[in-house]
Structure 1
Amino acid sequence: MELTQLMLHPIRLRIVNSVFDGRPFTTSQLRDRLPDVPKATMYRHVGLLVEHGLIEVEREERKAGAVERTYRLHRSRTVIDDAAAAAMTKEDHRHGFAAGIASIVGEFEVYIGQDDTDPTTDMASYRQVSLWLDDTEKEAFYEDLIAAVRAHLDNGPSPGRKRHLMAMIMFPTKSTHDT
Structure 2
Amino acid sequence: MATADLLLHPVRMRILQALFDADPMTTAQLRDRLPDIAPATMYRHIAVLTDAGVLEVVGEKRVRGTMERSYRVRPEQAVVDPAARAAMTRKDHQRSFTTFVASLMTDFDRYLAGEDADPLSDGVVYRQAAVWLTDDEFAAMIEEIESTVVARVGRPENDGRTRRIVSLVVVPDKPATAPGPDA
Provide the TM-score with structure 2 as the length reference: 0.85
Give CA-to-partner distance per residue, 1:118-162, whole Å, 9 cap, x none: 100111112222223232332222222122112212323223111
Give CA-to-partner distance per residue, 1:13-36, whole Å, 9 cap, x none: 121121122632101111222233
Output the amino acid matched with 1:55. Answer: L
2:54–2:77 contact (8 Å) kept in structure 1: yes
Give CA-to-partner distance per residue, 1:52-107, whole Å, 9 cap, x none: 22112334322223332222322211112433322322222112111111111111
1:60–1:69 contact (8 Å) kept in structure 2: yes
Q: Does 1:100 align with 2:100?
A: yes
Aligned to 1:15: 15
Aligned to 1:113: 113
> What does 1:82-161 correspond to in 2, within 5 Å?
82-161=82-161
1:22–1:75 contact (8 Å) kept in structure 2: no
Structure 2: tracts of 5 or more residues without a match: none
For these two proteins, the number of residue pairs brought into alignment is: 178
Q: 1:143 to 1:9 in 2, by over 3 A?
A: same
Q: Does 1:55 align with 2:64?
A: no
CA displacement at 1:176 relative to structure 2:
7.9
1:4–1:80 contact (8 Å) kept in structure 2: yes
Runs of 4+ in 1 over 6 A off after TM superposition: none
1:35–1:110 contact (8 Å) kept in structure 2: no
Instruction: Give aligned-pair identity as a percent.
Output: 40
Output the amino acid matched with 1:65. Answer: G
Distance 2:133 2:72 in 1: 40
Structure 1: tracts of 5 or more residues without a match: none
Root-mean-square deviation (CA, aligned residues, Å) is: 2.1
Q: 1:158 to 1:178 in 2, by over 3 A?
A: farther
Distance 1:21 1:178 in 2: 43
Report the secondary structure of 2:168's partner residue: coil
Distance 1:140 1:57 in 2: 36
CA displacement at 1:49 relative to structure 2:
0.9
Aligned to 1:75: 75
CA displacement at 1:177 relative to structure 2:
8.9
Distance 1:176 1:46 in 2: 42
Report the secondary structure of 2:72's partner residue: strand
